[in-house]
Amino acid sequence: MKIPPHYLPVMPYLILDKSAEFLQYTKKVFGAREQMIVPDGDDPNRQIMHGEIKINDAVIMFAQSTDTWKQKPAGMFLFVEDVDRIYNAGIEQGGTSLQKPERKEYGYAAGFEDPFGNQWWITEAEYL
C-alpha cells in the first residue's frame, strides 16, 4: 500500500454546516495549518467544498454539508503540549466544556465541544 507522504492511514472526515468557520476555529484553538482548501465555487468567502488541516502531524479532512450530505461531527482525541491553553482557547472561541482540566490516571486531560458539534478530548502526554 502506498500512501502519499502528507496523509496517514486513517483520517477523520467531518461534514459541517459551517466549514469556513470551522477552519478559523481550528487555527485559533489548535494552531492548525491548512494543507488543502478547495472553496465552494469561485467566491473565496464561500464555504469549503473540501478542506484538509494539520494539527501537528495529524490530518483532519472536512467539507461543507449539503442537502445530500448532512452534518456529521465527530469526537477526537489529541495529545497536546498544553491542555490549559487549548481548553481555554476552545471555550473562548465558543466551545462548551465537557470536562474541565484535571489530573487523571493517564495524564492531565480535558474535553470540550466546539460550536460545530465536534468533541475534542485533549491530554498532555505523560508516561506514569
pLDDT of residue 45: 58
Per-residue pLDDT reduced to its tens digit, 92-122: 999 999 999 999 888 999 999 999 999 999 9
Sign of CA dihedral 35, 39, 40, 42: negative
What's the pTM value of the predicted model, to 2 decimals?
0.90
Q: Is the pLDDT of residue 54 over 60?
A: yes
Domains of the chain from N-terminus onward:
13-124 (3.10.180.10)
Per-residue pLDDT reduced to its tens digit, 20-45: 999 999 999 999 999 999 987 765 55
The phi-psi region of residue 107 (left if phi > 0; otherwise alpha if psi is between -120 and 50; otherwise beta) is left
pLDDT of residue 128: 46
Lowest mean pLDDT among 6-20, 35-49, 113-127: 35-49
Per-residue pLDDT reduced to its tens digit, 69-95: 999 999 999 999 999 999 999 999 999
Helices and strands per DSSP (H, E), number in the chain:
2, 8
Sign of CA dihedral 15, 34, 49, 97: positive
pLDDT of residue 41: 75
From residue 84, alpha-carbon distances to 87, 124, 127 in Å are 5, 10, 18
Give me the torsion for CA of 80, 83, 89, 94, rounded to 10°: 100
Q: Is 46 within 8 Å of 54 (Cβ atoms)?
A: no
pLDDT of residue 1: 80
pLDDT of residue 8: 85
